[in-house]
């Protein structure tokens, strides 16, 4: 399914539960150069729902970024990306 926003075609590449997860993926994709828009049912957003149909959030990207966006999400979910998490050591605080 695609939507037109300001004469640009956007496609849904993923549907996730809750705004928190959607915002995480938005940040991840945007950090990789992929523009993102999130779409959630108005009632779900108004009541802050994160479960059920009203908690679904659609992740949309411009059609020209569809393949890249899907591949990035797939690689992330498969654990193929080198992402430094909280539990990994960082040299930021190391003494010289």
Listing DSSP states for 42-80 in one string gives HHHHHHT--STGGGEEEEEEEGGGHHHHHHHHHHHHTT-
Question: Which of 17-21, 36-40, 41-45, 80-84 shows the lowest mean pLDDT across its residues?
Answer: 41-45
pLDDT at 89 over 90: no
In the prediction, which pLDDT does 27 show?
A: 95
**Tens digits of residue pLDDT in 31-43:** 999 999 999 865 5
Average pLDDT, the chain: 80
Determine, yes or no, domain membership for 50.
yes
**9 falls within a domain:** yes
Direct distance between the N- and C-terminal alpha carbons of the chain, in angstroms, rounded to an integer: 53
* Structural domain range at position 50: 2-63
Q: What per-residue confidence (pLDDT) applies to 87?
A: 55
Count of structural domains within the chain: 1
Model confidence at 4, pLDDT cuts 50, 70, 90, reads: low
């Amino acid at each position: 399914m695609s939507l037109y926003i300001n004469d640009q075609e956007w496609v849904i590449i993923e549907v996730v539960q809750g705004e928190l997860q959607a915002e995480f993926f938005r940040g991840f994709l945007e950090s990789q150069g992929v523009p993102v828009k999130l779409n959630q049912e108005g009632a779900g957003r108004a009541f802050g729902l994160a479960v059920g149909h009203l908690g679904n959030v659609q992740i949309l990207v411009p059609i020209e970024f569809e393949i890249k966006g899907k591949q990035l999400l797939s690689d992330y979910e498969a654990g193929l990306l080198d992402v430094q998490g909280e539990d990994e050591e960082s040299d930021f605080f190391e003494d010289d």
